[in-house]
Amino acid sequence: MLERRVALKSSAQIERMAVAGRLVAEVLDRLEELVRPGVTTRELDAVAERLIREAGAIPSFVGVPGPRGAYRHATCISIDDEVVHGIPGPRRVEDGQIVSVDAGAIVEGWHGDAARTFVVGDVPDETSRLVELTRRSMDAGIAAARPGAFLSDISAAIEDVALAAGYGVVRQFVGHGIGTEMHEEPQVANFRTGSRGRRLEPGLCLAIEPMFTLGGHEVAVGPDGWTVATVDGSLAAHWEHSIAITEDGPRVLTIAEPAAEKLPQAVGL
């Protein structure tokens, strides 16, 4: 198989990606507080866009080309059977839904990309389990992203969680390399592809993003040209982190600064 060119990042470049990643995490933290019954997806998106622009960053999804023109929003918000790429609008979030929010930001040319699925109010155990295990599969995929392992180890770690739970694994959309572009080589499948894939090495930066369903793996793009939903109408969850592979193992980039580091510098100096 043809090995496409992959751009490895220096530790200084990874630090710059961590700045973008931190901003994306802060945006998702804020939206997590706001995802409540009655809020519209447009309102959530407006908050995300404001936070990104106030930080002097660029919302990376804006301008992504699509079949009916460029994307115009800072987030994708996908509810229940929608998997990814739901368009923010006047729709109101309702109790009992699962709401997946995907956000991306560019800081000084470097991308951060992350997604979380939020549970709104009371949902059946089966639903909260889907959301939790999809997140856990992302964590398993990240843990497998160690120098010397192979790309397929990430895929297998993610797929194993779905296999054990009996979930569908979306195949049409996968994770990806990330850096100065939102989508770089290599692709990161959430299932075994039959190929070992490239060897993982320090400097490789990836967006790891499992999409699991309570039913089958088949998805289709809706009439708006963007929204991807399950064909069988089953619920879907989506979690994503951008990570860097370092000598010491995987480093999650789309994570907020630990509280201790937010304390002011020594007072009086």
Interface residues with Mg ion (CB under 5 A) are 113, 207
| Helix axes of 125-143 and 151-165: crossing angle, nearest 10 degrees | 160
- Paired tokens of 96: 């009992």
Quote the least distance from Cβ 113 to Mg ion, whole Å: 4
> Would you call 131 helix, strand, or coil by DSSP?
helix
Quote the least distance from Cβ 92 to Mg ion, whole Å: 26
- Paired tokens of 194: 């039959």
* 138/162 with CB nearer Mg ion: 138
Q: Residue 54 contacts by C-beta under 8 Å, 6 or more apart in sequence?
A: none
Edge-to-edge strand list for the sheet holding 236-238: 168-169, 211-213, 236-238
* 78/127 with CB nearer Mg ion: 78
* 45/113 with CB nearer Mg ion: 113
Quote the least distance from Cβ 262 to Mg ion, whole Å: 27
- On the question of a cis peptide bond just before residue 147, with omega within 30 degrees of 0, the verdict is no
- H-helix or E-strand containing 154? helix 151-165
Quote the least distance from Cβ 17 to Mg ion, whole Å: 14
Torsion angle of C-alpha atoms 193, 223, 116, 62, degrees rounded to 10: 100
Nearest residue to 214 (alpha-carbon basis) of 179, 170, 172: 170
- Paired tokens of 264: 């002011």
Quote the least distance from Cβ 261 to Mg ion, whole Å: 26
Q: Residue 51 contacts by C-beta under 8 Å, 6 or more apart in sequence?
A: 23, 26, 27, 30
* 207/253 with CB nearer Mg ion: 207
In the chain, what are the helix, strand and coil shares in percent, each to the nearest 5?
A: 30, 25, 45
* 234/254 with CB nearer Mg ion: 254
Quote the least distance from Cβ 269 to Mg ion, whole Å: 41
* 156/207 with CB nearer Mg ion: 207
- Taking CB atoms, the residue at the shortest distance from Mg ion is 207
* 24/214 with CB nearer Mg ion: 24
Q: What are phi and psi of 105, to 5 degrees?
A: -140, 150
